[in-house]
Structure 1
Amino acid sequence: MGHVGIIGGGVVGLSAGLALLKAGHRVTLLDNDPGAAAPSWGNAGHIAVEQVAPLASMEQVRSVPGRLFAAGGPLALPPREIATWLPFTTRLLGASGAKRFAAGRTALSRLLAEALPAWRAQVEEIGAPDLLREGGHLVTWLDERAAREGTRDLAAADTGTASAAPASAADLARLSALGAAHPAGAMRFTGTAQIADLDELRGALHAAFAARGGTRIEGEGRLVREGRRISIAGVECDQVVVCAGVRSVALLAPVGHKVPIIAERGYHVRADAQHWPEDLPPVVYEERAMIVTRYRTCVQAASFVEFARADAPADPRKWARLERHIAELGLPITGPFQRWMGARPTLPDYLPAIGRSDRADNLYYAFGHQHLGLTLAAVTGRLVTEMLDGRRTSLPLAPFALSRFA
């Protein structure tokens, strides 16, 4: 077995590193996020196996005017960032046609079907099975018409290995008790899951990686090309895997890969757990496009899809709107709030990039998981290991190859 260098210490990179160590490889991981600011550690904690339909679809395109931030929705296309998002949205339109959408749904469905079994195996292997909660999640509406239409649409939707049914009377009672606004309807998903605490997950992954002999270095990492082979500056390794989220664009550019990724930025606010029930699964307030998650010691409300540069200044209006949603719904969440913004790495067809480079013989990649980075981390780690071992992968990876953007 060889020595593998991984650039990117988020949940995908760590999952790949653990799977490679288990297979007998030596692994060095470069992590430039000592403060845990990446989306891996600031997301909604939701194992979203129900999201089998890529967001690159004509249905989503048609819904854009009503979802814009200026109209009260979650989608932000900041005018100052038009040079960033206009080329991306043009490609997204091209990926939203019926044929490409159907192919993308098939590919994503196969990947998501393996996501929860892979997470079950991973939390057992790192000795933290209690970090995975398989209690499903709830989707609720406050307006009666929205509830009728929403429940009808969800009942007819393809949700992969998950299933949705009208919430029970007990669920509705619990949702009613949370705030001043009583739900007009709700659906309970089964077959989805939650990470109990992202900070604990990060610590458990780091501990398991070190215990299995992995080397973790704090640093950016830089690829060095020598003919058809790639190395990492300052790290001697036989094979290289790029799992660096939005940074993967700059890393791969010198190798000849033009990656049309965008920073799809999300926002959240956190507060002490207070009166939010510990055993309540994540709750989606559909009309507010907001998901509320209870972690071990805090409760978090998250929302927004903002297309911009990863390092553009955050928009405080989005945190203010989240806090206003909480107040207007009468939810038992009070400040002081901890505010966070993170850049999800998103490709125009809303499929990840997982594969082997056609520009270098020993270069592999796994990034661009958009909203599904946490969900797909464990299964992606398995697929990366199968590739590096030269085995036939357990799922077809052609739909996720970077060559689709050539």
Structure 2
Amino acid sequence: MMAQAKHGADVIVFGAGIIGVSVALHLLQRGRSVILVDRRMAGEETSYGNAGLIERSSVIPYGVPRDPLTLLRYGLNRSADVHFDWSYLPRIAPWLWRFWRESAPKPLARAAADMWPLIERSVIEHETLMAEAGVLPQLRKNGWIECYRSEKTFAKARNAAAALHDFGLNYDVLDKQALQQREPHLSDVLVGAVHWLDPATITDPGGLVKAYAKLFVDQGGVFLRGDAGKLQQEKGGWSVATDIGPARAPEIVVALGPWSDIVYRPLGYRIPLLMKRGYHIHFETKGNSFLNRPVIDVDGGFLLAPMTHGMRLTTGIEFAPRDSLPTPVQLDRTEPLAREIFPLENRIEPTPWMGSRPCLPDMRPVIGRGSRHDGLWFAFGHNHHGLTLGPVTGRLLAEMMTGEPTFTDPAPYALERFNH
């Protein structure tokens, strides 16, 4: 490993989250020598803190609701779904305005069509890598459930599910009795649910990324600790300082999620990347209580997911600077609601986990070439779906970089859409 790092490789991939590890693996499997560089071990940042969903049914990107009452609750910070740091609002107002416009029905439909080729292959590509990594038995293929407390929101959910008919999704509509049969430890506060059958789930997303990283190293890849902020462009390529000395390559991939700006900004790229922060905390459960799959309380604004570490309660979106102090008010608001639907015991960790989701206002990631520099490639901005789209992103970018025919047209994800 040290010899390869000293003499360089074909590609350096920055970022050992699900996106970066997947890109590194796919490049390695196509004959490229690859050095994976991160300041931490694999799967310990954003990729650790998600709900464990490989979301094959999320064909409509997460846009801005059009309902005025919902927006008013958001604006007054009275919703568990969204929380604002008001001092941050002037800085992100242009981004929010574009996000609002992209969430109108026609642009949102175009975004859904552009994202569908990636979403459609999400589970399949994970299955391939999980089989190679020897962890396929960890994949649960029993979907996830969206639950509702009111008949009104439940009726809207049924109509919304029916409107997705053209995507060929599989789902069951569950009344209160059917929901109790599938998840016997949920309370009767919930009046009904939609059980999405196509998604898969895992109970240790950070562990899955570590398994993929181990596969990468076992197959001949090199994983080094280093700081992408110390990247240097040299004649014929790039170099970066690592814990064992400089690593060099003619090509680099920036897959740093919410930290991608530490590379692209100094290089002169203006990309409208914004972080949506989120929190989670694990709980013990009472007695023998369990959930068979993740469950979202749509009206309550939270998700419960059975994890290796305990029952994980996750929150919605917080608009706040990436590196500002945590403000886990959404957890405090939703914990009493979570206790209404499921028998939770004590919190396991003393402090909630906080992470940042890298998002772009048009709800598509950047996957492709850096237009102003030779040998520069990007893969970030997956808008809540990093875990879902890691392996399929890795495949697409590796096909682009090695000149293979791509399984789908990568044009919707190109950097040039932001006028570079």
TM-score past 0.5 threshold: yes
Q: Which runs of 5+ in 1 are unaligned?
A: none
Q: Tell me the equivalent position of 1:292.
A: 304
Q: What is the aligned counterpart of 1:344 among 333, 347, 357? A: 357
Q: Tell me the equivalent position of 1:232.
A: 240
What SS class does the counterpart of residue 344 from structure 1 fall into? strand
Q: What is the aligned counterpart of 2:342 among 322, 331, 335? A: 331
Q: Which letter maps to 2:344?
A: I
1:159 Cα offset (Å): 8.0
User: Where in structure 2 are the equivalents of 1:304-383 lying within 5 Å?
Assistant: 304-327=316-339, 329-338=340-349, 339-383=352-396
Aligned mates of 1:228, 1:97 — CA distance in 2: 45
Q: What is the aligned counterpart of 1:64 among 64, 68, 71? A: 71
User: Where in structure 2 are the equivalents of 1:197-236 lying within 5 Å?
Assistant: 197-221=204-228, 222-226=230-234, 229-233=237-241, 234-236=246-248
1:167 aligns with 2:167: no
CA pair 80-158 structure 1, distance change in 2 beyond 3 A: farther
CA pair 95-62 structure 1, distance change in 2 beyond 3 A: farther
Q: 1:12·1:366 contact (CA, 8 Å) conserved in 2?
A: yes
Q: What is the aligned counterpart of 1:137 among 135, 144, 167? A: 144
1:21 aligns with 2:34: no
The CA RMSD over aligned residues, in Å, is 2.5
Q: Which letter maps to 1:19?
A: H
1:87 aligns with 2:94: yes
Q: 1:223·1:232 contact (CA, 8 Å) conserved in 2?
A: yes
Per-residue deviation, residues 194-249 of structure 1 (Å, max 9, x unmatched): 01322431331232122111111122223323478544352111210000011112
Aligned mates of 2:314, 2:388 — CA distance in 1: 16
CA pair 26-362 structure 1, distance change in 2 beyond 3 A: same
Q: What is the aligned counterpart of 1:74 among 55, 67, 81? A: 81
1:243 aligns with 2:250: no
What SS class does the counterpart of residue 241 from structure 1 fall into? strand
Q: What is the aligned counterpart of 1:396 among 403, 409, 414? A: 409
Q: What is the aligned counterpart of 1:178 among 178, 182, 185? A: 185
CA pair 114-276 structure 1, distance change in 2 beyond 3 A: farther
Q: 2:18·2:43 contact (CA, 8 Å) conserved in 1?
A: no
CA pair 185-236 structure 1, distance change in 2 beyond 3 A: same
Q: Which letter maps to 1:262?
A: L
CA pair 218-273 structure 1, distance change in 2 beyond 3 A: farther
Per-residue deviation, residues 316-349 of structure 1 (Å, max 9, x unmatched): 322212322223x152221124311110000011
Aligned mates of 1:288, 1:276 — CA distance in 2: 24
CA pair 363-391 structure 1, distance change in 2 beyond 3 A: same
What SS class does the counterpart of residue 398 from structure 2 fall into? helix
Aligned mates of 2:417, 2:343 — CA distance in 1: 47
TM-score (norm 2): 0.89
Aligned mates of 2:251, 2:169 — CA distance in 1: 36
CA pair 170-206 structure 1, distance change in 2 beyond 3 A: farther
Q: Tell me the equivalent position of 2:294.
A: 282
Q: Tell me the equivalent position of 1:116.
A: 123
4+ residue runs over 6 A deviation: none
Q: 2:187·2:341 contact (CA, 8 Å) conserved in 1?
A: yes
Q: 1:58·1:97 contact (CA, 8 Å) conserved in 2?
A: no
Q: Which letter maps to 1:103?
A: R
What SS class does the counterpart of residue 384 from structure 2 fall into? helix
Aligned mates of 1:61, 1:13 — CA distance in 2: 39
User: Where in structure 2 are the equivalents of 1:252-263 lying within 5 Å?
Assistant: 252-263=264-275
Q: Which runs of 5+ in 2 are unaligned?
A: 1-7
1:307 Cα offset (Å): 1.5
1:30 Cα offset (Å): 1.0
What SS class does the counterpart of residue 105 from structure 1 fall into? helix
Q: 1:275·1:333 contact (CA, 8 Å) conserved in 2?
A: no
Aligned residues: 405
TM-score (norm 1): 0.91
1:295 Cα offset (Å): 1.7
Moved more, 291-300 or 151-160: 151-160
1:379 Cα offset (Å): 0.3
Q: 2:291·2:305 contact (CA, 8 Å) conserved in 1?
A: no
Q: Which letter maps to 1:371?
A: H
Moved more, 223-232 or 329-338: 223-232
